[in-house]
Amino acid sequence: MLCEKCHEREATIFYTEIINGVKNEHSLCSECAKDMEFVDELPFAELLAGILGAYAVESEKKEDTMEQVVCPTCKLSYRDFISQGVLGCEDCYNVFEPLIEGNIKKIQGNNIHTGKKPLYNNMTMAKPQAEYSIIEEIQILKEKLNEALREEDYEEAASLRDEIRALRERDGIDA
C-alpha cells in the first residue's frame, strides 16, 4: 500500500484516529509520519496497535490460530491485544510471551531487563507460570521456527530449535 500523503513511498505505519467518534484509518510512510510529529501527535496506542496488527497480517496463517489464545487470568485475547496494543495483567506477559517477544524486541531494541529490581517482591510473590502446556508451547515455537526458516533467519531458527530441544528434554518428551 502506498503512503496516503506522498503517494510515492510504501506505507509502513498504519494507525486509527478517532475524532469525535468518527474513525479514520491512515497509512503513512515513515518519512511522512516523521513530518507529522510536530503537527499532530500520533495517538501512540493506535500507532502501536497498527504496527503489531500489520505484523500479524504478514503472517495471516499464524494469526488464525493465535488470535484465539486468551489469558486465563484477565481474559484478554491475543486479538484484543493486537487491536488495542495494551496488555491486561501481569500474566499476559507470560501467556503471550512467545507471541509478543519479537514485537517487544522490535519496539525496544532489546528484550532483557538490566535495570533496577524490586526490593520487596521475592518474599511475597510467587511468579505465576504461563498457562500453556509444554506441548502447546512447543507448537508455538515450531510455528515460529517455520517462519524464521521462511524468512531465512537462520540465527533465530537455531535459537528456536535449541529452545524446543530444551523444552522437550525438560518434559522428557523424545525428540
Subset of residues 130 to 169 that bind other proteins, contact rule: CB under 8 A: none
End-to-end alpha carbon distance in the chain: 43
**Min dist. Cβ of residue 40 to other proteins (A):** 11
- What is the C-alpha separation between 48 and 15, in angstroms, rounded? 8
3-state SS, one letter per residue, for 9-32: CECCEEEEEEECCEEEEEEECHHH
- What is the C-alpha separation between 77 and 99, in angstroms, rounded? 12
Confirm or reject binding of residue 74 to other proteins (CB under 8 A).
yes
Task: Residue 109: count other Cβ atoms within 10 Å of its Cβ.
Answer: 7
Grid cell of 75 as nine digits: 481474559
Confirm or reject binding of residue 117 to other proteins (CB under 8 A).
yes
Confirm or reject binding of residue 90 to other proteins (CB under 8 A).
yes
48, 85 in Cβ contact below 8 A?
A: yes
Confirm or reject binding of residue 76 to other proteins (CB under 8 A).
yes
CA distances from 117 to 95, 114, 120, 121 (A): 22, 9, 9, 9
Q: Which is nearer to other proteins, 122 or 173 (CB)?
A: 122
Q: Which is nearer to other proteins, 107 or 134 (CB)?
A: 107
Confirm or reject binding of residue 20 to other proteins (CB under 8 A).
no
Confirm or reject binding of residue 102 to other proteins (CB under 8 A).
no
Subset of residues 24 to 43 that bind other proteins, contact rule: CB under 8 A: 34-35, 37-38, 41
CA 22 from chain centre, in angstroms, equals 27
Which part of the chain contacts other proteins (CB under 8 A), choosing from 55-63, 118-126, 138-146, 150-158? 118-126
Confirm or reject binding of residue 45 to other proteins (CB under 8 A).
yes
**Min dist. Cβ of residue 73 to other proteins (A):** 7
**Where do contacts with other proteins occur on this chain (CB under 8 A)?**
34-35, 37-38, 41, 44-45, 48, 73-76, 84-90, 93-94, 100, 103-104, 107-121, 124-125, 127
